Amino acid sequence: MSQLDPKHWFTEISDRDGSGFSLRITKHLETRQSQWQTTEMYDTTDWGKLMIIDGCTMVSSRDNFLYHEMMSHPALYTHTDPKVVVIIGGGDCGTLREVLKHPGVENAVQIDIDENVTRLSEIYFPELCESNNDPRAELKFIDGIQWMKDRDSASVDIIIVDSTDPVGPAEGLFNRAFYEECLRALRPGGILVQQSESPLLHTKLIQEMRSEMAKAGFDAFQTLPFPQPLYPSGWWSCTLARKGEAFGEFRRDAADAQAFETHYYNSGVHQGAMALPNFLKKALEG
CB proximity list for 266: less than 8 A, separation 6 or greater: 255, 256
Which is the catalytic residue, given 63, 92, 157, 162?
162
- φ, ψ of residue 216 to 5 degrees: the values are -75, -20
Number of helices followed by number of strands (H, E) in the chain: 9, 13
Task: Lay out the sheet containing 9-14: strands in order across.
Answer: 2-4, 9-14, 19-33, 38-44, 49-53, 56-60
Query: Please, are residues 221 and 211 in contact by the beta-carbon 8 Å criterion?
Result: no
Please provide the DSSP assignment of 40-70 as one string: EEEEESSS-EEEEETTEEEEETTTHHHHHHH
Coil, strand, or helix at residue 256?
helix
How many Å apart are CA 162 and CA 195, to the nearest integer? 6
To the query of whether residue 162 is one of the catalytic residues in this protein, the response is yes
How many Å apart are CA 96 and CA 223, to the nearest integer? 21
Annotated active-site positions, please? 162
